[in-house]
Structure 1
Amino acid sequence: MVYYLIVCRSLTYAQRTAAMLERAGITAHILRSPRTIDREGCSHSVKVSERNLANALLILNRAGLQPKRVYLIAGDGSYKEVLL
């Protein structure tokens, strides 16, 4: 299965993001952003499946919870930034 990481500016924003998505019926997992994509050193991400990404971004946009960045988790474990 293909997954995406929605990078948030802090743990609090990641928690708000995950809670908002869970309330909308979208499974979301909070994790610390991998070092390869973590530019600031303290960000957290919310992991969602590919089938839920578009709906998740729409929900977050409506709630005013804009992600910093979004990354595709490639099959080889690397990360590719998705331009929104």
Structure 2
Amino acid sequence: MSAMPLYFVMLGELLMAIENSILVVRSITYAMKGQKLLESNGISAYVERNPFPNSREGCGYGLRVQGDVSRAVSILEAAGVKISEIKRGKPQ
């Protein structure tokens, strides 16, 4: 039986570690500002409409973030982008 090459094992671990979450913000303006901030810091982010908004979440827009969510939150908060909720999900 042959072992799987190390780079495949490491890639699999890396893919499992990548989070795919939605950071819900209060407005489309915050979502667009946040996307630019995150992408300028090397974090992939996409503006997305929340399909199930509630009054606590404002207008129901969010940023789908792929990568280090805690780092993304820190960057956004430092720039004054308020996050209403973090919806964590599985990698796509």
TM-score above 0.5, yes or no: yes
Is 1:59 aligned with 2:75?
yes
Is 1:4 aligned with 2:21?
yes
Larger of the two Rg values belongs to structure = 2
CA change 1:2–1:54 in 2 (3 A) is closer
CA RMSD of aligned residues (A): 1.9
TM-score w.r.t. the length of structure 2 is 0.69
Identity of aligned residues (%): 29
Out of 54, 76, 87, the position equivalent to 1:39 is 54
Show structure 2 runs of 5+ residues with no match: 1-17
Show structure 1 runs of 5+ residues with no match: 76-84
TM-score w.r.t. the length of structure 1 is 0.74
Following superposition, the deviation at residue 65 of structure 1 comes to: 1.0
C-alpha distance after superposition, 1:48-83 (max 9, x if no partner): 12x3201101111211112111111258xxxxxxxx
Is 1:68 aligned with 2:84?
yes
Higher helix share: 2
One-letter amino acid of the structure 1 residue matched with residue 64 of structure 2: K
SS in 2 for 1:68: strand
Distance in 2 of aligned mates of 1:42 and 1:61: 19
One-letter amino acid of the structure 2 residue matched with residue 45 of structure 1: G
SS in 1 for 2:83: coil
Runs (4+) of structure 1 exceeding 6 A deviation are none
